Amino acid sequence: MESSSRIDLGEMSIDVVRKDIKHVHLSVYPPDGRVRISAPRHMASDLIRVYAITRLDWIRRQQRKLLAQERETPREYLDRESHYVWGKRYLLRIVEADAAPAVNLKHSTLELRVRPGSDAGRRREVLDAWYREQLRNALPPLLEKWESLLGVRARRLLVQHMKTQWGSCNPSSGNIRLNTDLARKPPECIEYILVHELLHLIEPTHNARFQSLMDRFMPQWRQIRDEVNRLPVRHEDWVY
């Protein structure tokens, strides 16, 4: 079982979760930069506090980026609303038809076919399922390429909606999860996130070794990371 506590560093409050892990993990979550440290169950509180102090500059940089990041207004799934596919902007076109739901890209239009009377929630479900399928179809060649280059193998690659991360890796199980919304980003962003998570099978933390591996296999990773952070992200009602 997990146990939770909190440490305060001046005006900054940090959630601490102790669990059965070997390494400390530090996360800064959107939209407002909530900070969480996951620590080994028996790690002393003083050590966790010292660790947090050493990472204060990094935490504040991440918080500034999150607060500056552009966010879409809430989507209503109406005609001529803007949506992104592989980093390109399309205008939504709603087509009501007594047929199975479908999504088609036509030049600058994202055509969403739904049954008459479908509300915004149903339209979102259909479009989200389509985004998920686009990402699943794009991943196999990338996974084959990078597993071979890195000399690793993911046990499972899961695509799902994630509110606070673009991707995650569980080094113990070998499972990698990627955010469905990556299908809205340019293709190079997907590749960067996939490589990032695969490298966690070699190095679980974001230490100097991890960054050195990123530099070796994807020298331009910092520029792509900045691009991911610059692009508008979907509006969410963030609930923890």
* Mean per-residue pLDDT, 185-206: 93
**pLDDT tens profile 76-94:** 889 999 899 998 999 999 9
Token pair in block for residue 35: 């900070």
**What's the pLDDT at 235?**
41
C-alpha–C-alpha distance, residues 25 and 17, integer Å: 10
Instruction: List the one residue out of 206, 86, 201 whose CA is nearest residue 146.
Output: 201
Whose structure tokens read 């205008």? 91
* Mean per-residue pLDDT, 29-38: 81
Q: Domains of the chain, with CATH numbers?
A: 3-68 (no CATH), 82-230 (3.30.2010.10)
E-strand spans in 107-225? 109-114, 156-160, 167-170, 175-179
Token pair in block for residue 119: 């509300």
pTM of the model: 0.70
**pLDDT tens profile 45-79:** 999 999 999 999 999 988 887 776 655 566 788 99
The secondary element (H helix, E strand) that includes residue 13 is: strand 12-19
